[in-house]
Chains A and B, each alone.
Chain A
Amino acid sequence: MFIEQGGYQLTDDQLDAVFSALADPTRRKILARLAKGEATVNELVEPFDMSQPAISKHIKVLERAGLVTRGRKAQRRPVRIDARMLAEATSWLEGYRELWEANFQRLDALLQEMKASGSSAPPLKEEQP
């Protein structure tokens, strides 16, 4: 099963890898840091109360998911975010989120009416075609 999104296709396995990569809060923080610019592994380890091997493991998960790439400079091998994969994976749910956002904005309005009128339910309004 392929999820088509804007001309690109992500396989089940790719989507799986991206979502499980994003499911971890440390990895999300790493991505947030990389969104501001590339960093070395040491720079990424710094803000966490975690060992370098532990952070390296997280970086490998992100790399396998295609969310980050490693540079080739011999000593440094900076880690960079790959925004395209993230965009492709997350926009898959974006339309779904927009649908519920629309519903919930209407629910917000209804709840305000219900609060204003006390415990009585407002009458069903005629919908405009």
Chain B
Amino acid sequence: MTNTVEVSTPSDREVQVVREFNAPRELVFRAWTEPQLLARWMSGYPGWNVTKSEGDPRAGGQQRIEWTGPEGAFMAMTVTYREFVPPERLVTIEVFDEAWHPGEAVTTIVFTEEVTGVTTVTMTIVYDSREARDIAVSTGMTEGMAFTYEALDRLLAELA
């Protein structure tokens, strides 16, 4: 099983993230959609926490996720489920309160389990324009958050 994250750019408006997980896709799908489970892992950089995660995971439903970061930093996002097909597929529209980038991002997440107990997640995010994609990806890495491996080690030790 490869659990390295592969990031690529299939087109000039897209980013794709692929990763394998050592769990059946029913569980991975739940972890990706149930608000209380999502809050446990989608916290972003060390020092950031999910402070609100609520919503209605179903086709046409919405979810609200809020993060708090160092020195009172705040981020929030509303997710609308365009497609919701457990345990295999999600299509969402994500809008950040403070748009990091113009327009909307449409995210397609496909969960496949070719080997029993191993789920491959392929997440493809399409932006309105190449500029929007570039801004979203580069602000993902430079938003004033110094990301260090020491902080990650600490986090992993807490979860172990």
- A107-B158 contact given A3-B134, A125-B40, CB 8 Å threshold: no
Size of chain A's interface in residues, with CB distance under 8 A? 35
Closest residue of chain B to A123 (Cβ to Cβ) is B36
A-B contact count (CB 8 A): 112
Contacting A at CB under 8 A, from B18-56, are: 19, 21-23, 27-28, 30-31, 34, 36-37, 39-46, 49-50
Closest residue of chain A to B136 (Cβ to Cβ) is A96
Q: Chain B contact residues (Cβ within 8 angstroms of A): what range? A: 35 or more
Closest residue of chain B to A102 (Cβ to Cβ) is B152
Please name all residues of chain A whose beta carbon is closer than 8 Å to the beta carbon of B8 when the two chains form the complex. 93
Q: Is the CB of B5 within 8 A of A101?
A: yes
Mask: chain A, 116-127; 1 = CB below 8 Å from B; 0 = not: 000001101101
B42 CB → nearest A CB, Å = 6
- A102-B45 contact given A1-B134, A110-B31, CB 8 Å threshold: yes
Contacting B at CB under 8 A, from A78-129, are: 92-112, 114-115, 121-122, 124-125, 127-129
Please name all residues of chain B whose beta carbon is closer than 8 Å to the beta carbon of A127 when the two chains form the complex. 43, 49-50
Closest residue of chain A to B158 (Cβ to Cβ) is A128
Listed stretches B58-66, B80-88, B139-147; interface member: B139-147
Task: Say yes or no for A48: interface residue by CB 8 A criterion.
Answer: no
Given contacts A99-B44, A110-B41, A114-B27, 13 further A-B contacts (CB under 8 A): A1-B131, A3-B138, A98-B147, A100-B17, A102-B155, A103-B41, A105-B152, A105-B155, A109-B41, A109-B156, A109-B159, A121-B37, A129-B49
